[in-house]
């Protein structure tokens, strides 16, 4: 169960204010290190941190498989004692030790590729070109019935235990071709939720995910499509809209991108032939 915290708030109902306790989602920084070298600090909801680190490294093209990871652990030597005697930072720094066969420092261009992928300020065509250089378009013959897609929203929502309490989390779910929910993760950041799902699949030796479906709460962004392409997921479904850059990348990558999944309706932005009409 992901952590929550209770705060005293003022809730208004029409003209009447009332002081009540409200349950909020926890947000804390996570520093990801590779071989004790600091790589990035992300804001996330604590929980499934090892999956988040593994998924992030994989979808940023810094590793190519779960075999590149020797061990993932919290950096307990960085723990500090707070004034009340509790320990801080115990689970806010994760170190990923890579196998001896992979030396991150000698990987040509890894720093440039990481910063290009992490940046939101680059030209769209340049960004798509950088992804195209790192991952080939999907060649999967995977198809899915429209009835399967219509079931995903309800199944994902039913699995969002913390969202029901706080209303403040995004979710990502990995589904089988028949609509079975295999992995679900929640986080304050939708990209983190996707990295956690892919990280769990990577550590479970399920990647490539060529016959799977990814569904995300909220909108479909460029970064989410990019992560799906790295994991070889052929269908991405979003509750809300897709951005123009996400659609462009989905078209380039031969990925089926679906948005506005609401009840028995959806908008298919790219590669609609992958969705079959049920007789």
Closest CA to 184 of 199, 173, 195, 170: 173
CA distance 202 to 65: 7
Among 75, 120, 123, 143, which one carries the catalytic annotation? 120
Q: How many CA atoms lie within 13 A of 53 on its CB side?
A: 31
Full DSSP string of 43-89: EE-SS-HHHHHHHHHHHTTS-SSGGGEEEEEE-GGG-EE-TTS-EES
- Cβ burial, residue 206 (10 Å; 0-12/13-18/19+): middle
Residues 6+ positions from 67 with CB-CB distance below 8 Å: 99
Stretch (H or E) spanning 30: strand 28-34
Which CA distances in Å does 138 have to 215, 220, 229, 231?
18, 18, 7, 10
Query: Catalytic residue at 123?
Result: no
Closest CA to 151 of 225, 193, 213, 220: 213
Beta bridge partners of 265: 262
- Cβ burial, residue 203 (10 Å; 0-12/13-18/19+): middle
Tokens (6 digits) for 32: 């990801």
Catalytic residues: 120
């Amino acid at each position: 169960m992901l952590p929550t915290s209770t705060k005293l708030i003022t809730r208004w109902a029409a003209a009447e204010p009332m002081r009540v306790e409200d349950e909020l989602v926890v947000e804390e920084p996570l520093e990801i290190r590779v071989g004790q070298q600091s790589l990035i600090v992300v804001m996330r909801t604590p929980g499934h941190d090892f999956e988040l680190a593994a998924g992030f490294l994989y979808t940023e093209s810094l590793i190519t498989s779960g075999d590149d990871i020797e061990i993932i652990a919290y950096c307990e030597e960085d723990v500090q004692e707070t004034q009340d005697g509790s320990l801080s930072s115990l689970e806010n720094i994760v170190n990923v030790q890579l196998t001896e066969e992979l030396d991150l420092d000698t990987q040509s261009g890894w720093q440039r590729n990481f910063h290009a992928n992490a940046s939101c300020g680059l030209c769209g065509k340049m960004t798509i070109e950088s992804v195209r250089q790192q991952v080939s378009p999907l060649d999967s013959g995977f198809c899915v019935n429209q009835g399967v897609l219509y079931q995903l929203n309800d199944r994902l929502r039913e699995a969002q235990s913390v969202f029901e309490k706080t209303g403040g989390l995004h979710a990502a779910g990995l589904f089988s071709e028949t609509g079975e929910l295999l992995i679900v993760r929640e986080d304050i950041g939708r990209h983190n939720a996707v990295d956690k799902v892919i990280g769990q699949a990577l550590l479970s030796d399920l990647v490539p995910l060529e016959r799977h479906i990814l569904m995300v709460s909220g909108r479909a962004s460029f970064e989410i499509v990019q992560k799906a392409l790295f994991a070889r997921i052929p269908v991405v479904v979003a509750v809300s809209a897709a951005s123009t850059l996400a659609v462009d990348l989905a078209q380039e990558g031969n990925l089926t991108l679906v948005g506005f999944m609401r009840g028995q309706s959806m908008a298919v932005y790219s590669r609609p032939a992958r969705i079959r009409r049920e007789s």
